[in-house]
Amino acid sequence: MRRCLYSLLGLIVAILMLVGCGAPAGSDTAQLAFEAQMQVDSAQRFHVSLGVRNVGQTRYRDHQAFNAAMELWDDAGEKLGSVSVATLWELAPGNAGWPAAYASKLPAGAYQLTWGTRDGNGVVVDFTIVELDGWLYLGEQSIRITDGETPEDSREYGARQLPVDLARVNLAQRLGIDTEAITAQSVEETEFPDASLGVPEPGQMYAQVLTPGYSIKLVVEGQSYEYRASDKRLVFVPRQELAPQGDITIEGVQVTEGEGIAVHGQSTLPDDSCLGSELWADGELQAWWPGETCVQVQNGMWQMNVRLESDGAPAELDPSVQYMLRVYQQNGPGIVSVFAFDLAGPPVP
């Protein structure tokens, strides 16, 4: 079943750019088209094959002066890899050569690949790798030519179309039906409270930042199903009637210097439901916080106390830091409450 998914979703980008040292139409100079075929293979590695095709009417003979290069960058501007191709064998009109390839393990995220000659003629591909059910797939691509000309490529997926296709294939596998039986009801832009998209996996940690993405509604025989997508993740949302109902509220956090931190709140979850928690300081998860400890809901109330200067906890919290407490239902369907606080106190007039 995974193999079927790969065959359907193994998107290939073929990028063409005519070069020939700026040769005008009708020139005898050979014209080359650069091609990059990209995929995420069955070993979960990103793989790109670098090709050159002679699309002119003249045999390409200047093979010793080819001097091309491929470079791969992440969205933070860090160079992840490169390939240099100094020479290229002769190419007859209509023939193609594949002088190099590159493979690497890449996590879900956004990347940029360039492939072309060192004198500035080349192609730039911005692409993403997305995660679905723990597997990685090639995502959206945006193609541009360095001389400003944009090629037409019917295979380029829009930002919305790709996650819809992924969701339809995944739902077809879950239900044991053909993708043709699944209809896309709606695709709406939204923001999720954190990188889990509101559907965290047990034992996983997620960045506590607003995450833009999409809510995708699919329909099968009148029954609605929901997926949520960002540029790095796509996840199935459990059907509401199968998920426990309820909410969590953090009512207050009291910090006593040299003693401890007391947190209390309310919840409509059933009695004995286990709550977990996380403490973040300026965007960094605090490893000393005993977040895996089960805090039980009793009579609609819950509370927890964490001693300072004990079990790795500091003696005091930093008054210059912005803290955020996140409380969630352990092994639950994404019921979360967030409470921000600091120790600086109100501003002095």
Say if residues 295 and 276 touch (Cβ distance below 8 Å).
yes
The pLDDT value given to residue 157? 38
The alpha carbon dihedral of 153, 155, 161, 163 has a sign of negative
Distances (CA, A) of 200 to 87, 106, 305, 334: 50, 22, 25, 6
Question: How many C-beta atoms surround the C-beta of residue 63 within 10 A?
Answer: 14
Q: Residue 75 is encoded by which pair of tokens?
A: 């969205």
Say if residues 270 and 244 touch (Cβ distance below 8 Å).
yes
Per-position DSSP letters for 65-94, written without gaps between them:
G--EEEEEEETTS-EEEEEEE-----B-TT
Q: Angle at Cα 107 formed by Cα 104 and Cα 111, nearest 5°?
A: 80
The pLDDT value given to residue 262? 94
What letter would DSSP give residue 321? Answer: S
Classified as helix, coil or strand, 214 is strand
Q: Residue 216 is encoded by which pair of tokens?
A: 């995708």
Say if residues 122 and 114 touch (Cβ distance below 8 Å).
yes
Judge residue 85's burial from the number of C-beta atoms within 10 Å of its C-beta, 0-12 exposed, 13-18 middle, 19 or more buried: middle
Q: Which pairing describes strands 336-341 and 323-329: parallel, antiparallel, or unpaired?
A: antiparallel
Q: Rounded to whole angstroms, how far apart are CA atoms 156 and 80?
A: 24
Strands lying side by side in the sheet with 260-267:
248-256, 260-267, 301-307
Per CATH, 2-156 and 248-341 having the same topology is answered: yes
CATH topology classification for 2-156: Immunoglobulin-like (2.60.40)
Residues 6+ apart with CB under 8 A from 99: 50, 51, 52, 85, 88, 89
CATH of domain 248-341: 2.60.40.10
> What is the residue-level pLDDT of the chain in tens, covering all 349 positions?
443 443 334 433 444 434 443 343 344 556 788 888 888 876 788 888 888 888 888 888 876 678 889 999 998 889 999 998 888 888 888 888 888 889 899 988 889 999 988 776 778 888 888 877 677 877 766 656 554 333 444 333 345 666 787 788 788 878 888 877 888 888 888 888 888 888 877 767 787 888 888 888 898 888 888 999 887 788 888 865 444 567 899 999 999 887 899 999 999 888 888 999 999 988 788 989 998 889 999 999 999 999 998 888 898 898 888 888 989 888 766 678 888 888 865 544 4
Distances (CA, A) of 155 to 68, 123, 142, 158, 214: 25, 16, 11, 10, 21
* Rg over CA atoms, the chain: 27
List the chain domain ranges: 2-156, 162-242, 248-341
